[in-house]
Amino acid sequence: MSDRTAPVLRGPASVVETACPLDCPDACSLAVTVQHGKIVKIDGGHANPVTDGYICAKVRKFGERVYGPDRLLYPAVRDGRKGDGKFKRVTWEEALELVATKFEAAKAKHGGESILPYSYGGSNGLLTQDNLDAQLWRRFGTSRLARTVCAAPTGAANMALYGKMSSVTYQDYPEAKLIILWGVNPSASGIHLVPFVKEAQKRGAKLVVVDPRSTQLAHSADIHLPVHIGADVVVALALHRYLFANGYADQAFLAAHTHNVDILRERAEPWTIDEAARVARIDPHALGQVAELYATSSPALIRCGWGLERNRNGGNAAMAILSLPAVGGKFGVRGGGYSMSNSASWNLQRPWIGTDEPQTREINMNHLGRALTEYDNPPVDVLFVYNCNPAATVPDQKRIIKGLERNDLFTVVFEQVMTDTALYADVILPATTFLEGYDVAKAYGPIHLELGRPVIDAVGEARTNADVFGELCTRLGLLKDDEPAGELDLMIAMLEQLPGTIGDDLRRGAPATPEFGGAPIQFVDVFPKTPDRKIEFCPAALDASTPLGLYRYQPDPETDRYPLALISPASERTISSTLGELPRPDAKLSMNAADAEARGLADGDLVRVFNDLGEVHTTLAVTPAVRPGVVSLPKGLWRRSTRNNTCGTALVPDTLSDLGGGACFNDARVQVASLATA
C-alpha cells in the first residue's frame, strides 16, 4: 500500500510516502516502510521524477539516528559540569518554564540582545526554520544571526549580479555540449545530478572539473583543473580575458543586458592564461584548452558549487564564475548558462513572521567563539541552539568550547541527538526528526516543493520546532489570538499563503513547481531579478565594501610554518554534521604521496595536524585524490571522530570571506607530523 494522507501507521508493513527536507539540493521523494509503528526501511520514492526511486546511503540509514543510543528522548536539565553530558530528566512544563524565565531575566538585565538564537540547515524544511522561531526572536528583540556558515559568498554574488535568478536545473544538463563542474562534487552531495551529467557525456558533451581533488567525476572528465585553494577567482578571470581578447565576448548581449562590463574587462586584464595558471598551480596548456572549449561550445553550462567560496576570495570567485555566461553569450538556450542554488525561486510570503520589529544587533555565526567570549555590549547571556551543532561545525572550535564552558552562560539546545554542543547545554529540549512531523521540503538543485509528513509517532517526548517555538511565543505573550501557534496551524496557514496551485499540489502529494515550471531557460523563462532586469557586473557599494574591490585576488595566507591548505569537503557519510554520531572508523587525513614523502610519513601513520589554533590527531591516508599542497579531512566530523576529541574546525580561523561574511574553512593552513615523533 502506498499512502500520502493516512495517519501514522501502526499495523503490518506499509509504505508511506514523504519527502526529505535535509540540507541537500535534491529534496528527494521518500518511500518509508513502517511496521507496527516503527521504521524498517527508507528508500527513494517516485513522486518526484528526479529522485527516480533511489536515495543516498545517508538517509537510507536515517533510522539509526531515529532509534539510536544518542537520541534525545526527554527534556532534561544539566546535572554536572558543562561538557560532562550529565543531565536530569524534567517535564516539558518545567523545561519550557525555565527557558521562558531565563529569557525574561536576561532581557531585564542586559536587554533582549543578550539572547542569541543560533541555527542552521539541520532541516531546510519551510516549517522547521525561519518561521515561528523567527517570530519569537524578532518579537522578543533578541540578537539576530547572520546565517553565513555556507552559501553566503555565492549567494551574495548571485544576488549582486542576477538578483538570484533561477538557474539551470538537473533535467536540462543533458542538453549541454560542455559542462564545467566548478567546486562541487555531486557524487557526495546532491547525488541525483550525476546521472544527468553522465547522460550529457553519453550524448557527446565535454566535461571539465575544477577541484583540488580527483573526484569520481574528475576521473571521467575531459579536463581536470586541480586549482589551488583560493585561486578560483584568477582562473575565472583568465577565462574572461580570453573571451575579450579573442573576440568571443558577446558584445550584443553585453550591450543589451548588462552594466559596467568595462570594469570587469579591466580587472581581468592582468590574468593571462600563464599568470593565472602559475598562481593556481595548474597546467597552463589545460587552462588554455578550457578557455577555448568554453568560448566555442554551446550550450555551455557552469555548475557553480560551494567549495570555491570557502576562502578569503570566495565571493570574488563566485562573481567571476557567474559572470562568464554573460560575457560568453551562453544564455538563452536550454542547457546553457549557470546552475547553482535555486533556493530563491519561490516568492514565499510568511506574514505571521512580521517585518516591523526594530532591527537588533546582528552576529555573524562564524564569530560564535568571539560572541561568547568577547562581546560585552551586551554580553551573550543566553544561547539557544537548534538545527545545528556549532561546537563541531563552526570555525575556531577551541574558542567556541571556551565560550560554552562559561558558567554565566545559559545554553538551551533543542536537538534530536546528543551532539557535541548539547553536551554543554543547561537545558535540553528533544526535537522530532523529519520522519515524525510535517514539513515542506524545498529542493534547491531541481526546483520543487514537496510535502513531508509524519510516518511514525514522535519518539520519546520529542516535539516539533513549530510546536516548541509556538509554545514559547505563547508563554512570553508574543502571539495574537488568530495567529498560528503550532505545527498544524502553521502548516494550514502556509499552504493557504502559497501562490497559484502550489498549496493544492502539495496537499495532493504532488511536487509543486513555480509558475515558470521546473526547468527554466535563463533569459527566456527567467530574468535577473534586479530593478531593470539587467546584470550589474560591479555594484558600487559592493565594490567599495570588498577588501580589494570586486574581481581582485588576495594572495594565499600560507606561511613557512604552515604550508599545507586543509580542506573539508562534503563526504558520503554526513549531511553537514547530521549523522556524524553514527559509529564508524576514525576520520582520515588525505595527503598526496609527494607531501607524505617530504615529511617521512606513510599510509596508516598516526599524525598530528596542527597550526597556532589547535591540533587534530588522526590517521593518514596517502592518496593521489588530493593535489600536492592540500590535505583533506571530511566535513561534518564530530569530536568523537578523531583521536584527540577535536574536529578540523579547531584549525580553521574565523576570518570572513570577501563577500557575504562567509566562513573561510579552506583558509586553514597547517603542518602535519608523525604522532610517534611528537
Q: Strand pairing partners for 70?
A: none
Q: Out of 9, 16, 18, 27, which residue is the one contacting ligand SF4 (CB under 6 A)? A: 27
3-state secondary structure of 87: strand
The cell for 626 is: 588530493
* Amino acid in position 18: T
352/434 with CB nearer ligand SF4: 434
452 DSSP β-pair partners: 439
Q: CB nearer to ligand SF4: give 442 or 627.
A: 442
H or E segment to which residue 632 belongs: strand 630-632
Judged by beta carbon, residue 28 or residue 468, the one nearer ligand SF4 is 28
We find the least distance from the C-beta atom of residue 53 to ligand SF4, in angstroms, to be 12
Residue (22 or 233) nearer to ligand SF4, CB: 22
Which of 9, 16, 20, 165 forms a contact with ligand SF4 (CB under 6 A)?
20
Residues between 267 and 296 that touch ligand SF4 (CB under 6 A) = none
- Give the shortest CB-383-to-ligand SF4 separation in angstroms: 28
Q: Contact at 8 Å (CB) between 18 and 32?
A: yes
Binding to ligand SF4 (CB under 6 A) within 462-521 occurs at: none
Q: How far apart are CA 620 and CA 601, in angstroms?
A: 8
Minimum CB distance to ligand SF4, residue 345 (Å): 17
CA atoms within 13 A on the CB side of 59: 31
What's the grid cell of residue 187? 557524487
Joined grid coordinates for residue 417: 541527538
Tell whether residue 24 is a contact of ligand SF4 (CB under 6 A). Answer: yes
CB of 55 to ligand SF4, least distance (A): 4
* Nearest distance from C-beta of residue 182 to ligand SF4, angstroms: 20
Residue 50 or 99: the one with the smaller Cβ distance to ligand SF4 is 50
Q: Which lies closer to ligand SF4 via its Cβ, residue 41 or residue 88?
A: 41
Check binding of 631 to ligand SF4 (CB under 6 A): no
Four-CA torsion 207, 279, 307, 54, nearest 10 degrees: 20
The dihedral over CA atoms of 337, 317, 394, 546, expressed in degrees to the nearest 10, equals -120
Q: Identify which range of 16-24, 171-179, 625-633, 659-667 contacts ligand SF4 by CB under 6 A.
A: 16-24
- Is 451 a residue that touches ligand SF4 (CB under 6 A)? no
The residue from 17, 26, 309, 595 that contacts ligand SF4 (CB under 6 A) is 26
Residue 228 or 442: the one with the smaller Cβ distance to ligand SF4 is 442
For ligand SF4, the closer CB: 59 or 160 = 59
Applying CB under 6 A, the span of 23-31, 148-156, 178-186, 474-482 interacting with ligand SF4 comes to 23-31
Count of Cβ atoms closer than 10 Å to residue 13 Cβ: 12
CB 47 → ligand SF4: shortest distance, Å? 13
- Whichever of 42 and 231 has its CB closer to ligand SF4, that residue is 42
Dihedral in degrees, nearest 10, Cα atoms 572, 577, 582, 586: 70
Residues 40-59 close enough to bind ligand SF4 by CB under 6 A? 55-56, 58-59
Question: How far apart (Å, rounded) are the C-alpha atoms in residues 77 and 158?
Answer: 43
- What's the one-letter identity of residue 115? I
Q: Is 39 in the site for ligand SF4 (CB under 6 A)?
A: no
> How does 433-472 read in b/e, with b if 16+ C-beta sit within 10 Å?
bbbbbbbbbbbbbbbbbbbbbbbbebbeebbbbbbbbbbb
Closest contact distance (angstroms) between CB of 59 and ligand SF4 is 4
Answer left, alpha or beta for residue 523, where phi above 0 means left and psi between -120 and 50 means alpha. Answer: left
Interatomic CA distance for residues 192 and 188, integer angstroms: 10
| Of 62 and 244, CB closest to ligand SF4 | 62
Preceding amide of 299 cis, omega within 30: yes
| Maximal CA-CA distance, the chain | 71
Comparison of 18 and 364: residue with beta carbon closer to ligand SF4: 18
C-alpha grid cell for residue 190? 546532491
For residue 139, the one-letter residue type is: R
Stretch that binds ligand SF4, among 25-33, 92-100, 465-473, 666-674 (CB under 6 A): 25-33
557-586: which residues touch ligand SF4 (CB under 6 A)? 575
Site string for ligand SF4, 176-215 (x = CB under 6 A): ---------------x------------------------
Among 16, 28, 404, 668, binds ligand SF4 (CB under 6 A): 28
Q: Which span sits near ligand SF4 by CB under 6 A: 17-25, 235-243, 363-371, 454-462?
A: 17-25
**CA–CA distance, 474 with 457 (Å, rounded to integer):** 24
Q: Which of 169, 181, 172, 229 is nearest to 206 (CA)?
A: 181
Nearer to ligand SF4, 170 or 665 (CB): 170
Q: Do residues 208 and 179 lie in contact, with contact meaning Cβ atoms separated by under 8 Å?
A: yes
Please, which residue, 41 or 203, has the CB nearer to ligand SF4? 41
The residue range among 19-27, 239-247, 406-414, 660-668 that interacts with ligand SF4, by the rule CB under 6 A, is 19-27
Specify the 3-state DSSP secondary structure of 286: helix
Cell of 32: 518509508
Residues 6+ apart with CB under 8 A from 391: 397, 400, 401, 404, 419, 420, 421, 423, 424, 639
Cβ contact 41:33 at 8 Å: yes
Show contacts with ligand SF4 in window 55-94 (CB under 6 A): 55-56, 58-59
The site that binds ligand SF4 (CB under 6 A) totals a number of residues, namely: 12
**CB-wise, 58 or 639, nearer to ligand SF4?**
58
The dihedral of CA 597, 618, 403, 465: what is its sign? positive
Residue 380 CB, nearest distance to ligand SF4 (Å)? 32
Residues that bind ligand SF4 (CB under 6 A): 20, 22, 24, 26-28, 55-56, 58-59, 191, 575
